[in-house]
Amino acid sequence: MSNEDLEQSFFRQHISQRFNTELEDIHSRVLAMGGVVEQQLIDAVTAMSETRFDLAEKVVTSDYRVNAHEVEIDEACTEILVRRQPTASDLRLVLAVIKTVTDLERIGDEAERMGRMALHFLEQDRQNGPVEELADMGEQVRSMLRGALDTFARMDVDQAVRVAQLDIQVDSQYEVIVHRLMDQMMKSPHAVPRAMDVIWTARSLERIGDRARNICEYVVYFVRGKNVRHTSYEEMAQEATGDRH
């Protein structure tokens, strides 16, 4: 289903044209916010892995844009709730948007934290080389976030399940990084400060993965009306593919 088809079927059929527009509007605003957040994540990871001081600064100073998006979309959602009293899929869309926006904002926060970490890291330890350990995980989380946003754009349940499952890999990558750094720390205590910074950053990436998974779950909630949070991947897949009667 292409994006246009989706908007055809989900938003364009209300008797009230303005309602259609309002729903389309919050949906596309979430995507716009997602774009900003994704860029923040890319910049933060690059800053870390390529020791780019400028990008780190940019990430830290751009978080206000994400926050502004969040406030705007929240207001739009409040207005729809007040004026339209949405029900069924409309209600689920608005709820999914509100929750997605919260998660996106937190992802933005994590990206900012990573940016700060990078700044700290680069200032304190200029002799340190780039942090290559995080490049793979960063790429994985980035593609997961992009996948989640894509899923949200198309409201594609099958893709939602696939993207959510990527979180398993992210988690295991995190475990691997932590183990490796623990080893380093045990071997040479002088490596501890750097390792701690890297672990904190990896932790942020892992959380971003969790939040990307949340976004996929909201897509399943919107499309199927089923709450798949706090369930196993198998259950989620089952619910998501289950017949709509």
Partner 1 sequence: MQMPQPNDNPRSSGGIAARSAPGTAELREEDDTVESGDRSQPTPASGVTRAPEVGAGAEPETAEAVHPTKVDVRSLSLWYGDTQALFDVNLQIPDKDVTALIGPSGCGKSTFLRCINRMNDLIPSVTTQGQLLLDEADIYGPDVDVVQLRSRVGMVFQKPNPFPKSIYENVAYAPRIHGVAQKGAEMDDLVETSLRKAGLWQEVSDRLSLPGTSLSGGQQQRLCIARAIAVNPDVILMDEPASALDPVATATIEELIDELQSNYTIIIVTHNMQQAARVARYTAFFHLGEVIEYDRTDTIFTTPREKRTEDYITGRFG
> Which residues contact partner 1 by CB under 8 A?
13-16, 19, 85-92, 224-226, 244-245
Q: Which is nearer to partner 1, 89 or 102 (CB)?
A: 89
Q: Which is nearer to partner 1, 39 or 89 (CB)?
A: 89
Q: Which is nearer to partner 1, 13 or 127 (CB)?
A: 13
Q: Do residues 213 and 150 lie in contact, with contact meaning Cβ atoms separated by under 8 Å?
A: no
Q: How far is the CB of 187 from partner 1 (least distance, A)?
A: 49
Q: How far is the CB of 166 from partner 1 (least distance, A)?
A: 27
SS (HEC) of 68-111:
HHHHHHHHHHHHHHHHHCCCHHHHHHHHHHHHHHHHHHHHHHHH
Residue with tokens 């890319």: 42
Q: Which is nearer to partner 1, 102 or 231 (CB)?
A: 231
Q: Do residues 245 and 226 lie in contact, with contact meaning Cβ atoms separated by under 8 Å?
A: no
Length of the chain: 245
Q: How far is the CB of 124 from partner 1 (least distance, A)?
A: 50
Q: Which is nearer to partner 1, 88 or 126 (CB)?
A: 88
H/E element holding 137?
helix 133-154
Question: Quick one: CA torsion of 68, 69, 75, 79, rounded to 10 degrees?
Answer: 150
Sign of CA dihedral 163, 167, 172, 178: positive
Q: Do residues 134 and 177 lie in contact, with contact meaning Cβ atoms separated by under 8 Å?
A: yes
Q: Which is nearer to partner 1, 206 or 239 (CB)?
A: 239
Q: Do residues 161 and 231 lie in contact, with contact meaning Cβ atoms separated by under 8 Å?
A: no
Q: How far is the CB of 229 from partner 1 (least distance, A)?
A: 14
Q: How far is the CB of 227 from partner 1 (least distance, A)?
A: 10
Q: How far is the CB of 122 from partner 1 (least distance, A)?
A: 49
Q: How far is the CB of 94 from partner 1 (least distance, A)?
A: 11
H/E element holding 116?
helix 88-124
Q: Which is nearer to partner 1, 11 or 174 (CB)?
A: 11
Q: Do residues 199 and 123 lie in contact, with contact meaning Cβ atoms separated by under 8 Å?
A: no
